[in-house]
Structure formats: structure tokens, C-alpha cells
Amino acid sequence: MRVALDTNVLAYAEGVNGSGRKKATLDLLAKLPDESTFIPVQVLGELFQVLVAKAGRTREKAYLAVLSWQDAFPLVETSPSVLLAAIGLAKDHELRIWDAILLAGAAEAGCRVLLSEDLQAGFTWNGVTVVNPYAEKKRDLLASFFEG
């Protein structure tokens, strides 16, 4: 099963919002197979901004973190087909365009799960289900992934 990561997952792994969330996220990422876990390109741009604006990192350190994540997992590009699908998704479901791009990119990459704390958990579109990895009760889809 393929999984896509939202910005908040990477930000927590970088230590944004404390060591407790960082540890939980690193534990989660260690369970995900590298070849089946994807990062939408947009997430790297958002991560850079979060690390500079919220975490107070220098642009150089934020840049190096982004490069590290780029090397950690395959990337999902924001292609014209992803953008057009996202615009339709934003229109039909009243999502913010940036969230819709993440979801459309995950679908394009064949992901079944988008791990995100920010999007509505349980929302499913084009075969991709949003799962909040920090919720007390994980969705069955994510739990079965870890068990299998």
C-alpha cells in the first residue's frame, strides 16, 4: 500500500511542536517502507516555510532539511493533470487549493492513504483516504498496513 505524507508529518519529524511529537513521528516513519511512501513536491516547499517562519531556522538549515527529505522518499510532482484534478477537487468539495493539490498528487502516485493532521480524517477521494496518524484511534486502513 502506498502512503503520502503531508507537511505536518515532516515538520513534526523535524522537531516542530516539541520532542514528544517528534518521537511519535519518527517511530511512525520508521514503520513505513521507503519505496511505498511518497512526498508531494509541494510539501517540501511548505516545510521550508514552516522551518524558517515557525521553527526559526536559518534558510540554509531549512534548505538542508528539505534536501534530506527529498532523498528519503520518492517525490510526487505537481503535474498539469494533478493541478487540474486538484482544481476540480477544490471546486467540488470546497477544499483549499493547496490541500487539494496534495490529495490529487497522492492519487496520481497511486497512494491509498494521505497521512495528515490538517485535513479531514476519513475523507476519501479517488481511492485516497486521509488518515490522522496522531489520532488516538487509528483508522483500520493504517492499522492493517502496519500489521501486514
Residues 125, 1: contact at Cβ < 8 Å?
A: no
Q: Which domains does the chain have, with CATH numbers?
A: 3-147 (3.40.50.1010)
The pTM of the full predicted model, rounded to 2 decimals, is 0.91
**What pLDDT sits at residue 19?**
86
Q: Record the cell numbers describing residue 84, joined without a space.
A: 487540474
State the maximum Cα–Cα separation within the chain, in Å, rounded to a whole number: 40
Given a cut of 60, whether residue 147 has pLDDT beyond it is no
Amino acid at 112: R
Helices and strands of the chain, counted as H and E runs: 7, 6
Tell me what the mean pLDDT of segment 104-127 comes to: 95
Rounded CA-CA distance 126/108 in Å is 9
Read off the pLDDT of residues 29-82 as tens digits, 9 standing for 90 and up.
999 998 999 999 999 999 999 999 999 999 999 999 999 999 999 999 999 999
Arithmetic mean of pLDDT over the chain = 92
